[in-house]
Amino acid sequence: MVLATTFTVGCVALSLYLLPRLKGMIVGIQWAKRMHGFGQNAT
């Protein structure tokens, strides 16, 4: 039971820690490849 609780808490903590960093990486890649959504109107 202790192992399952520790594993669950660790997974939740790690996912909350990594989520903004991975999102920033994805947005940075999109920005570098000049994908849509960064300041110009789609006309």
Query: What confidence score (pLDDT) does residue 34 get?
Result: 85
Residue pointed to by tokens 């594993």: 7
CB atoms within 10 A of CB 6: 10
pLDDT in tens, 2-43: 999 999 999 999 999 999 999 999 999 998 998 877 666 655
Cα atoms in the 13 Å half-sphere on the side-chain side of 11: 6
Instruction: Tell me the pTM.
Output: 0.64
Q: Which residues contact 31 (CB under 8 A, 6 or more apart)?
A: 38
Compute, in degrees rounded to 10, the torsion defined by CA atoms 6, 9, 15, 21: -90
**CA atoms of 10 and 16, how far apart (whole Å):** 10
